[in-house]
Amino acid sequence: MSPQRYSLPAILLHWAQAILILWLLWLGWTMTDLPKGAERSAAYSLHKSLGLLALLLIVVRLAWRSRNAPPPLQAEGWEGRLAHLTHRALYLLLVLAPLAGYLASSFTPYALKFFGIEIAKAGWPDESLNGFFKLLHQAFVWGIGGLVFLHLAGALKHLLLRDGTLSRMLPGRVLQK
């Protein structure tokens, strides 16, 4: 008997968020090294738009999850507690990181745009508040990076064990012994 699977909407939301977060991590890491100019501005604009999209997506995921309980964890003991805490911390940081990024952008003199459409900012030009929220954003993002690594390590363990746990979040066939 295979472990209970996640629903198709939960699977699609998970993988869309995963792709978006990996793209944001890569873009955030590489854009800071670009020389000032049009390419760097475009990279920052894309990063901000994708970050706002990630915030919207996590809100949709949380709304979905509040109405559709996930299947129970397969792990028990310390591994089950670690998996539970990792998921909770990831959800928290997936909300806090884009919020901090939005607030950092709100305290600059530049317009904030979502894929070219100007949106309201929560602040005014203030370098110290911009710096504060930028530091928070970076700390939250490093936390996401660490938790993603831990999450991937757990997924790899289940892939190697072929215990069916990983297949709960994959579309298609169930993988097990």
3-state secondary structure 93-129: HHHHHHHHHHHHHHCCCCCEEECCEEECCCCCCCHHH
Contact 151, 62 (CB under 8 A): no
Q: Which domains does the chain carry?
A: 8-169 (1.20.950.20)
Q: Which of 32, 14, 37 is nearest to 170 (CA)?
A: 14
- The answer, as to whether pTM is greater than 0.85, is yes
Q: What is the pLDDT along the chain (177 residues), one digit of tens a residue?
A: 345 889 999 999 999 999 999 999 999 999 999 999 999 999 999 999 999 999 999 999 999 999 999 888 888 899 889 999 999 999 999 999 999 999 999 999 999 999 999 999 999 999 999 999 999 999 999 999 999 999 999 999 989 988 888 888 888 754 444
